Amino acid sequence: MRSSALPLAARFRWKLAPALTVVAAGDWLFYQRHLHGGYLGLFALIVLLALAAGRPVLRRDRRAWAGMAAAALFALALLYDASLLAWLLFWTAAGVAALIPATARFDDGWRWFQRLVWLGLRAPFGPLIDLKRLLKLRAAGRAGRWSLHAALGTLALPVAGSVVILTLFSAANPLIERFFSSLLLPDLSPELMARLAFWALLFAMIWGLLRPRLARMLLPGFSGRGDWALPGVSVASVTLSLIVFNLIFALQNMMDVAWLWGWAPMPQGMTMADYAHRGAYPLIATALLAALFVLVTLRPGSETARTGSIRRLVMLWIGQNVFLVASSMLRTADYIDAYSLTRLRIAALIWMALVGFGLAAICWRLLRERSAAWLINVNLAAAGLVLTVLCFVDTGAMAAQWNVRHAREAGGRGVALDLCYLDELGDSALLPLLSLERRPGLQPEFRERVQAVRLRIHAGLEAELDRRWTWLGQRRLDRARAMRADAAPAALKLGARDCAGRPLPPPPPPLVPPAKALPALTGERGK
């Protein structure tokens, strides 16, 4: 057993150095310097270097290199503009890179979801599990010569006696007392405990990548093939259902065409904005239910999927669902025209596009008799590609630019500009507000409201970059300084105001400690 214990100890030592490097880097960046933002990207790159140094097997596996490259891309996204999305995608890619050498091939997203969940659940306990295993192997390798129980029994008396004697000597000898005072443990203050917990968290995170373990048991995937005995599901019932569903969808799509495209007047008491807003999300839910119906009742190889008339009806129904998703996107676009663009509405449009892609993938799967794993992987790849792009795209800046360009005050056809929403967007709205502030023809009061919001955002960005530096924020600040240097705007005349134009209350006066009362100089002082 000794031969197996020594290589294990050596492997632990080789992994301990990069793990401690990551802990030291995290402590210096986040605890000592209180840095965050783009510095998360620098920390992520350090984690990747430690992973490559501590696990040589990754350098010999091409699939692991692909995972490491994806993780490096998300680390650069954190440097560009730190976000929770980029942080989660980085650890997902790093986890895949750490686990993939132990797998035969990349099977499907459902299995990898389980592996990554197990990796995250095991990470807090991984160092303790490995330490216990190492101690057990060492004890087994030295059986008969050494054991922990025997060592404690042998050392108990001399250690306890030495402590008592040295305690008495320290009371009589100041040099010994001073020596033991210098060896006292530091005060276990809450700040020290928090720092130790932070070290433990960083160590567990990197150790989970350096010493990953595959889940032994995985839940089976959904094959999606063959007949599935369900009550009420037969060739006749599915055919009748698809005929009725197609007629209902055709009616809904014709009404969308008539009203959204302006071929017929809106119903009495309803505006285009109301119609666009109330129907977008329910129609997406309908499309998702349609996808679920096709997945359950028309499994590849089943009797219903082999029937030609049912296949044609399904193709027609999925086509109508895709058209319905397009109508939902048009509804949202009309609502944006009537009101304004926000981050959530951009996310809604992206989600609708992914739903439409998923419906098309279901149709292709039925035609080509693809497996359920293929369908999962295709949709995960599409979602991953979209999320990767979103790591490098500021949807807040897109919304701010669109709202400024279409604002009524700037000559656009949109509604009045919501400066309070732009204020919430923070530095994403800095450059659009600065361009709007310099635009000729604005009302003086509105210009000063824009300038008040822009100055607040500008000052916040300058203060933030000291601790939360990002490449995108620095580029915005440099661009804003260049634009201000070209033509400096006039100073505010109406005083400090909030985003709605209301004057801000004056700051409270500084607290001055009351003067210490002097003793009264009276004739009774000497009494």
Whether residue 212 lies inside any domain: the answer is: yes
Report the Cα 201 to chain-centroid distance in Å: 18
What is the pLDDT, as a whole number, of residue 424? 93
Indicate whether 1 and 150 sit together in one domain.
yes
Which pLDDT band holds residue 440 (cuts at 50, 70, 90)?
confident
Confidence band of 298 (pLDDT split at 50, 70, 90): confident
| Per-residue confidence (pLDDT) for residue 3, from 0 to 100 | 42
Instruction: Evaluate whether 57 touches 63 at the Cβ level (below 8 Å).
Output: no
Give pLDDT, residue 338: 78
Same domain, 14 and 41: yes
Q: Would you say residue 230 has pLDDT above 60?
A: no
Share of residues in the chain with pLDDT > 90 (%): 32
Which pLDDT does position 10 carry in this prediction? 62
- pLDDT for res 484: 81
Nearest CA-CA partner of 324 in 347, 300, 291: 291
Q: Are residues 146 and 246 in the same domain?
A: no
The residue with greater pLDDT, 149 or 162, is 162
Residues 484-490 have a mean pLDDT of 64
| pLDDT at site 129 | 84
Q: What secondary structure, in 3-state letters, does 89-125 show?
A: HHHHHHHHHHHHHHCCCCCCHHHHHHHHHHHHHHHHH
- The residue with tokens 């792009």 is 389
Whole-structure pTM over 0.85, yes or no?
no
Structural domain of 244: 235-335+343-357
pLDDT of residue 491: 55
Count of structural domains within the chain: 3
Least-confidence region, from 93-102, 184-193, 253-262, 470-479: 184-193
Identify whether 275 is part of a domain.
Answer: yes
Mean pLDDT value of segment 446-457: 89
Among the ranges given (166-175, 286-295, 403-412, 484-493), the one the predictor scored with the smallest mean pLDDT: 484-493
Q: Kindly report the average pLDDT of the chain as a whole number.
A: 81
Q: What angle do CA 179, 183, 186 make, to 5 degrees?
A: 140
Do 240 and 207 lie in one domain? The reply is no
| Domain's final residue, options 325, 357, 389 | 357
Confidence band for 397, pLDDT divided at 50, 70 and 90: very high
- pLDDT given at position 256: 79
434 and 321, same domain (yes or no): no
- Give yes or no for residue 64 having a pLDDT over 50: yes
**Whether residues 199 and 239 fall in one domain:** no
The pLDDT value recorded for residue 460 is 92
pLDDT above 50: residue 13:
yes
Answer yes or no: do 49 and 131 share one domain.
yes
- Are residues 205 and 267 located together in one domain of the fold? no
How would you label 263-296 residue by residue, b for 16+ Cβ within 10 Å and e otherwise?
A: eeeeeeeeebbebbbebbeebbebbeebbebbbe
- My answer on whether 213 and 251 are in the same domain is no
Phi, psi of 507 (to 5 degrees): -65, 145
415 and 273 share one domain: no
At 433 the pLDDT is: 93
179 falls within a domain: no
- The greatest distance separating any two alpha carbons of the chain, rounded to the nearest whole angstrom, comes to 119
From 245-254, 363-372, 473-482, 485-494, the region with the lowest mean pLDDT: 485-494
Is residue 249 a part of any domain in this protein? yes
In a domain, 175, yes or no: no
**70 found inside a domain:** yes
Does the pLDDT value for residue 1 go beyond 50?
Answer: no
Residue 408 lies in a domain: yes
Same domain, 245 and 315: yes
Q: Are residues 54 and 137 in the same domain?
A: yes
pLDDT grade, residue 294 (50/70/90)? Answer: confident
Q: In angstroms, what CA-CA distances link 462 with 53, 269, 384, 432, 482?
A: 37, 49, 33, 17, 14
Q: Does any domain span residue 181?
A: no
Query: Residues 287-290: contacts with CB within 8 Å, 24+ apart?
Result: 287/321, 287/324, 287/325, 287/328, 287/355, 287/356, 287/359, 288/355, 290/245, 290/317, 290/318, 290/321, 290/359
pLDDT value of residue 362: 86
